[in-house]
Structure 1
Amino acid sequence: MRIPRPLRAAALVALPAALLVACSSADSGSPKAGGSPAAARAGVESEQPAAATAGEEEASAPAAGDTPPPEKVRDAFAGLQATLQDGCTTTEEQCAYFLGRVYEELEGLDRAMKADPKGPGHFPEPIEWITGLRGTIGPDRSYPNLKAHQGELVGTRDRINTWMQDHPDDYR
């Protein structure tokens, strides 16, 4: 059965959006954020009106100086390595997820390398490769654009994996 193109396009937008909502709200299960842990696990929103919870959420939001530290290089690299056994071999939805994940893992690794105590100068090649990839892909993070640059995206991931394998003290 062939899925109509508009439905496929909607699925490609809905899946990442649903994942973003599900993953971006780590505090959604806390009573302060207007939800219950049971509701958060079930993916159900609180019955409280939005106006009542908005003030509570603002009160619990971290101050500007309370931003969490960036991921450690070893943790960011582990996330990137987790993509090594995956690819665009099954469905378009899976391919869209894979390419988006590789891009996000590379961005996370870039942030971790720049924030590492050894300094960004300790990771010159990977940072340069990610910067080049970012320039090649541009601001468009849509599946068609990532798919068009799949070779560069996966190639950058693989180059960084090889580089990191030659620098085991940086991720162990």
Structure 2
Amino acid sequence: MDRDNFRPGPLAEVARVPADERWDLVFVRDLRHPPEKVWAALTEPDQLAQWAPFVASRDLGTPGDATLSTVDGDQTWPEPATVVRTERPSLLEYSWGDGLLRWELTPTGTGTRLTLRHRIDRPDLAPQMAAGWHLCLDVADHLLAGDPVGPIRGAEAKDFGWDELRDAYAERLDQPPA
């Protein structure tokens, strides 16, 4: 796909739930790729660099310390991370700075149901995080399909519909659960 023609896909399923005096953004997305392929995108540094909001100092497929450096243009901000749990290809959990990310991969008839639980400090951050993960996972989906568009992260995300996604997720998250 030509990067200039990239547009975000439909909104994902989202929820914001209390968790240990903090909040979890729960972001659910169906991908058209098998769990092993999605696992590789979530753990291998070369693949993460092409879609994630950070670059990883090592493969995240095994427990232990790592550094995840947030990227915005030419700037990076390294943060400590610890991979705390891995069950290939179904569960990956790691800390990143003061957050906790839990990736659950469930096979479906057409690919993988990906559930991300991202621990955040304040509930009002959920729409911003959802918009960011939405764009990142759209980019990952293109990468996995062999149609890479390159990472969209940091301030550049505003050029690809981040503001509209944030507003749409804010509206969706402010509605009471069904």
TM-score (norm. length: structure 2): 0.27
Q: Which has the higher contact order (CA 8 A, sep 6+)?
A: 2
TM-score by length of 1: 0.28
Between Structure 1 and Structure 2, the one with more helix by share is 1
Structure with the higher strand share, 1 or 2:
2
